[in-house]
Each structure stands twice: as C-alpha cells, then as structure tokens.
Amino acid sequence: MALDKSEVEKIAHLARLHLSEGDADEVTRRITDILALIDQMQAVDTGSVEPLAHPLDVVQRLRADAVTETDRRDALQELAPAAEDGLYLVPRVIE
C-alpha cells in the first residue's frame, strides 16, 4: 500500500515524532518501500489460521499481590532531566 505524505505526518503525530518538511518526502518513500515488502504476506490465504501472538503456548503466570520492591524514589528521580520535591517537572500543561 502506498502512503502519501499527509498520512505519514498523521502517523508521526500519533507516535509523537516531529517530521521536518525536508524529511517527510524521504521518510514517506522509505516507508512505502517497507510496506511493499510487508504486503508480500497479503498473497497468502490465512482465513482459517489462528493468530500466534507469542511463541510459547502458556498462560500468563500470576504472583501474589504483595509489595516486593523497596521505595527508591529519590535515587530514580536523580535520573530525571528535571525533578523537584519528589515530582517530575514538565512544561506547563494547565494555564
């Protein structure tokens, strides 16, 4: 399936990526090529085939609902670009 530039820009927005005007054409062309590769699978009739989401035929393991992790808030927030008083800082959202 061929994509046009406006569709690629819409997908980029969904993925929270910024596409510069200069890049959009090149990216559209590359992605169209990749979709052509992917579309080879459309030739196969898979009507009665069950999808395989995961290589193992097992059910999700459950664990007891118990606290196992220690509180490492301060250490983890040291990794943040901006944090203060135990909160992550981002640009103002509500005026």
Partner 1 sequence: MIEKTVAELSSALAAGEVSSVELTRAYLARIDQYNASLNAFITVCRDSALAQAEAADEARAGGRRDPLLGIPLAHKDIFCTDGILTTCASKILHNFTAPYDATVVRKLKDAGAVTLGKTNMDEFAMGSSNETSHFGPVRNPWDCERVPGGSSGGSAAAVAADLCAIATGTDTGGSIRQPAAFCNITGFKPSYGRVSRWGMIAFASSLDQAGPLCKSAEDAALMMNVIAGLDDKDSTSIDRPVPDYTATLGDSLAGLRIGIPKQHFAEGLTAEVEQSIRDALAEFEKLGASVTEIDLPNNHLSVSAYYVVAPAEASANLSRFDGVRYGYRCADPVDLEDMYKRTRSEGFGEEVKRRILVGTYALSAGYYDAYYRKAQKIRRLIKQDFNRAFEQVDVIIGPTSPHTPFRLGAKTDPVAMYLEDIYTIAVNLAGLPGISIPAGLPGGLPAGLHIVGRDFDEAKVLNVAHQFQLATDWHRRKPTLVDREN
* Count of positions on this chain that bind partner 1 (CB under 8 A): 49
In angstroms, the Cα distances linking 54 to 16, 39, 58, 60, 88 are 27, 21, 9, 11, 35
C-alpha 86/C-alpha 76 separation (Å) is 10
| Contact pattern for partner 1 over residues 21 through 50, marking x by CB under 8 A | ------x--xx-xxxxxxxxxx-x-x--xx
With CB under 8 A as the contact rule, the residue among 55, 65, 67, 70 that binds partner 1 is 55
Q: DSSP alpha helices (H): ranges in the chain?
A: 5-14, 21-38, 73-77
Contacts with partner 1 by CB under 8 A lie at 3, 8, 11-12, 14-19, 27, 30-31, 33-42, 44, 46, 49-56, 58, 60-61, 63, 72, 75-76, 79-82, 88, 90-93
